């Protein structure tokens, strides 16, 4: 446990600062104070109207799905195959949302039924066959993915071997790509620190309108494990929250299936965790860092007063749980930091001294800063 000396007159100054802030004429923010003794959450009833559900399209009758090889039709007559086979492949949609279906259709220039060959579609990304037809000139099947990704497919006229490429390829199509799109999701708070009883608005933003998707933007209070809001359309979703005791709550947003469970199922995107502190002590803290760096950067937390003569520290954390810096005096705290290639989310607190994340005794929370290190590609 780390200890530091506290000047009584300095701490009294901080208390006077807090009382002054609370005694502002007219309570400037009184209009945002919630009437309930529990967090206030608002969500439009229209947001919960049903989403369209896409039925699974049919597969060509008699086709073998996956690694199944269908039986050849009885040979009523022997037909000579063409001197040159050709194959094509199309997708009903090349850009769609996860869990939605695209129908792949392979075509051949001759009926494979009376020949020793099959018309097949291969997933080059997953390294598996998705469908095999033993007769006809077309072979179709729906494909879907549960999360954002891109898969490449190819059609072949070949034998029935399980390997790829198969032992005897008579023709192959061009490669067709299908993308199940992703969106970015962010969560912000209008105020990250405010007096007890006052309200702030949490707002999510997605990079695309989620209306055509099967998914919902949902905002959760991580501290209580409860869902606060769910929106099924547009690019923004908001909820107002307040607390009537000194506390800090964590919040997070997901693009997911519609469910009140925490965490929800079918998660497609996750926001960074945000913190909101309710405190009457008057402290405020902000955090700054470059959006990106090719090496090491300076991260700085700034408070509205000197923490030296108080029991509090300025602490900077990586949201992966690592404490990056702590300062027991002054109104500014800086640290040299190298973010990850995938990006790092940083946050600062005025709190008790602790390496735990989040630390105990928080009296102010900062904004969350996302920073990353670009990847060099040498050609």
d(CA 42, CA 38): 13
The two tokens of residue 352 are 């008790």
Q: Decide: helix, strand or coil at residue 76.
A: coil
Q: According to CATH, what is the number of the domain 64-71+86-180?
A: 2.60.40.10
CATH 2.60.40.10 domain residues, the chain:
1-32+281-379, 33-49+184-280, 64-71+86-180
Q: Which of 314, 358, 318, 324 is nearest to 223 (CA)?
A: 358
Quick one: DSSP state of residue 292? B
pLDDT at residue 76, as a whole number: 58
Is the pLDDT at 38 greater than 50, yes or no? no
Report the relative pairing of strands 226-231 and 313-318 from DSSP bridges: unpaired
Q: How confident is the model at residue 78 (pLDDT cuts 50, 70, 90)?
A: low
CATH topology of domain 1-32+281-379: Immunoglobulin-like (2.60.40)
DSSP-derived secondary structure letter, 111: -
In a 3-state reduction of DSSP, which class is residue 260? coil
Residues of the chain with pLDDT > 90, as a percent, come to 74
**Quick one: what percent of the chain has pLDDT higher than 70?**
84
Cα 56 to Cα 54: distance, rounded to the nearest angstrom: 7
**Residues ≥6 apart with Cβ < 8 Å to 67:** 128, 129, 162
Residues 276, 193: contact at Cβ < 8 Å?
A: yes
pLDDT at 72: 87
CA distance 309 to 9: 8
Give the tens place of pLDDT for each residue, 273-285: 999 999 999 999 9
Give the CA distances from residue 356 to residues 103, 334, 359, 362, in Å, rounded to whole numbers and listed in that order.
50, 19, 5, 12
What's the pLDDT score for residue 73? 80
User: How many residues are present in the chain?
Assistant: 379
How many other CB atoms sit within 10 Å of the CB of residue 233? 18
Assigned CATH topology for domain 33-49+184-280: Immunoglobulin-like (2.60.40)
In whole angstroms, give the CA distance from residue 189 to residue 200: 7
Q: What average pLDDT is seen over the chain? A: 87
The pLDDT value given to residue 111: 94
How does residue 1 score in pLDDT terms, banded at 50, 70 and 90? low
Report whether 152 contacts 122 (CB < 8 A): no
Give φ, ψ of 47 to 5 degrees.
-65, -20
Is the model's pLDDT at 30 over the cut of 50? no
In eight-state DSSP terms, residue 372 is: B
Residue 6 confidence (pLDDT)? 54
| Overall average pLDDT of the 351-371 stretch | 97
SS3 state of residue 276: strand
296: number of Cβ within 10 Å: 10
Instruction: Convert the pLDDT of each residue in 83-99 to its tens digit.
Output: 789 999 999 999 999 99
φ/ψ (deg, to 5) at 113: -55, -55
Which SS3 state, helix, strand or coil, does residue 16 take?
helix
Three-state DSSP state, 262: coil
Rounded to an integer, the average pLDDT of 197-225 is 97
User: Binning pLDDT at 50, 70 and 90, where does residue 53 land?
Assistant: confident
Paired with 300 in beta bridges are 288, 334
pLDDT of 116 > 80? The answer is yes
Q: Residues 128-170: pLDDT tens digits?
A: 999 999 999 999 999 999 999 999 999 999 999 888 888 789 9
Give the whole-angstrom CA distance, residue 310 versus residue 352: 10
Q: How far apart are CA 204 and CA 189, in angstroms?
A: 9
Q: Which is nearest to 132 in space by CA: 150, 153, 94, 158?
A: 158
Q: Rounded to two decimals, what is the model's pTM?
A: 0.82
d(CA 139, CA 119): 7
Q: What is the pLDDT of residue 376?
A: 65
Span 300-357, pLDDT tens digits = 999 999 999 999 999 999 999 999 999 999 999 999 999 999 899 999 999 999 999 9
């Amino acid at each position: 446990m780390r200890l530091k000396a506290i000047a009584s007159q300095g701490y009294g100054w901080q208390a006077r600062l807090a009382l002054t802030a609370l005694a502002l004429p007219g309570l400037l923010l009184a209009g945002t104070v919630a009437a309930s003794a529990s967090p206030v959450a608002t969500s439009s009833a229209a947001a919960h109207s049903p989403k369209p559900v896409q039925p699974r399209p049919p597969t060509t009758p008699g086709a073998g799905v996956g690694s199944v090889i269908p039986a050849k039709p009885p040979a009523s007559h022997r037909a000579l195959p063409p001197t040159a086979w050709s194959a094509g492949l199309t997708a009903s949609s090349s850009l769609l949302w996860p869990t939605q279906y695209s129908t792949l259709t392979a075509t051949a220039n001759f009926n494979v039924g009376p020949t020793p060959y099959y018309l097949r579609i291969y997933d080059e990304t997953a390294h598996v066959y998705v469908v095999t037809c033993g007769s006809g000139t077309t072979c179709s099947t729906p494909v879907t993915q549960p999360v954002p990704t891109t898969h490449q497919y190819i059609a072949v006229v070949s034998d029935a071997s399980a390997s790829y490429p198969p032992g005897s390829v008579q023709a192959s199509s061009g490669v067709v790509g299908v993308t199940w799109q992703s969106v970015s999701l962010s969560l912000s708070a209008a105020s990250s620190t405010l007096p007890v009883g006052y309200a702030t608005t949490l707002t999510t933003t997605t990079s695309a309108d989620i209306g055509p998707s099967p998914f919902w933007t949902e905002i959760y209070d991580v501290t209580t494990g409860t869902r606060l809001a769910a929106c099924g359309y547009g690019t923004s979703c908001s909820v107002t929250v307040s607390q009537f005791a000194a506390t800090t709550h964590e919040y997070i947003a997901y693009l997911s299936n519609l469910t009140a469970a925490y965490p929800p199922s079918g998660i497609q995107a996750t926001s960074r965790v945000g913190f909101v502190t309710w405190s009457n002590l008057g402290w405020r803290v902000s955090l700054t860092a470059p959006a990106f760096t090719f090496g090491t950067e300076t991260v700085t937390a700034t408070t509205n007063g000197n923490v030296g003569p108080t029991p509090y520290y300025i602490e900077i954390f990586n949201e992966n749980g690592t404490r990056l810096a702590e300062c027991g005096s002054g109104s500014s705290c800086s640290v040299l930091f190298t973010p990850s290639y995938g990006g790092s989310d940083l946050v600062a607190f005025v709190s008790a001294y602790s390496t735990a994340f989040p630390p105990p005794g928080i009296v102010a929370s900062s904004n969350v800063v996302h920073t990353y290190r670009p990847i060099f590609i040498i050609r």
